[in-house]
Structure 1
Amino acid sequence: MPNKALRILIADEQHFQRMRIERLFNRLDYYRVAPVQSLAELLTLIEYGGVSFDLVVINAALSDGALDLRDFFLDHPQVHHALIYDGLLIPACGQQKVQVSAAALPDLACIQRLMATVDPQLPFVGTVISVR
């Protein structure tokens, strides 16, 4: 049974992509999802929102070099886990807190593998494979 209290933040400039990712989480029974379209909105919610996020899913292009996303999420206490997708130019990280995917958009299998780490009480059928 998924932990329905988990807070998830999705950041992407494209409305369609935010909605597609949110629907993937909804298919897995996660509904506390906040979609944002800019880096400024993401930073505002993380820095001043007063609540932590269990997971941030962000398109690497959103930062456009203005912020080192991997280091930001590794060091930020308000973010417990992060997935940076479309991250061809971001070096992979050896820690489970931040995962980098070269995929243009995460698919259901990617989200399931990710949630096996974020929500350990989730029964996951199959093998957990690291996100590439």
Structure 2
Amino acid sequence: MLAGNGYSSKGKYKGIAPEANILSVKVLDESGNGNTSDILSTVQWIIENREVYKTRIINFSLGAIAQYRERRDPLVKAANRAIDNNFIVVAAVGNSGPMRNTILSPATSRYVISVGALDDGRTVETNDDSIAEFSSRG
């Protein structure tokens, strides 16, 4: 919970950025499928409308198997173009673990903040935390 204001819990569960605004842009269908061209045009739209919505961060909660080397991959190129336009870009690594080299594009970009999944051991302590078995790996 990033931008939650804690209202429902009377302030107990408040996000780390409760004053943040979230602009949600859906590019995949109800089954989680979509076209790369739709993702690319959406990134371009976000770049072009950054001042309208005061956008500073783009989060890719999606990914695709990298078909090309990093420099030629279309999703990596789109993410890198956003970074070149002073956006912070975060991307999910995917749920294809535990094998190595399973990170999805655009999280394969060396300039993107790649995020995997954590197994918290169902405790509040952090000393028993580990990478979730299903989380993709480099």
Confirm or deny a common fold (TM above 0.5). Answer: no
Q: TM-score, normalised by structure 2?
A: 0.41
Which has the larger share of strand?
1
TM-score between both structures, scaled by the size of structure 1: 0.42
Higher helix share: 1
